[in-house]
């Protein structure tokens, strides 16, 4: 498991100082319903906008 998860999406409620993700778990999926061959073909389903 990753010790630190980095994220640059500062509009997410889980974004923390130093570009860290403060979510208790991370859910990433293929955005095309098949195996991804690069990072552009994936989406973070953990994202929740800051209120």
Q: Which residues constitute the domain of residue 14?
A: 1-51
Instruction: Record the tokens describing residue 31, joined without a space.
Output: 């955005």
Q: What is the DSSP letter of 3?
A: S
Total count of domains within the chain: 1
Half-sphere exposure of 12 (CA within 13 A, CB side): 19
Q: Quick one: pLDDT at residue 32?
A: 82
- Low-confidence spans in the chain with pLDDT less than 50: none
This prediction has a pTM of 0.82
SS3 31: coil
pLDDT digit string, tens, across residues 22-35: 999 999 999 988 89
Long-range contacts of 14-22 (CB under 8 A, 24+ apart): 14/46, 14/47, 14/48, 15/50, 21/46
């Amino acid at each position: 498991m990753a010790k630190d998860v980095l994220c640059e999406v500062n509009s997410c409620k889980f974004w923390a100082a130093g570009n860290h993700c403060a979510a208790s778990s991370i859910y990433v999926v293929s955005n095309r319903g098949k195996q991804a061959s690069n990072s552009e073909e994936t989406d973070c389903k953990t994202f929740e906008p800051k209120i």
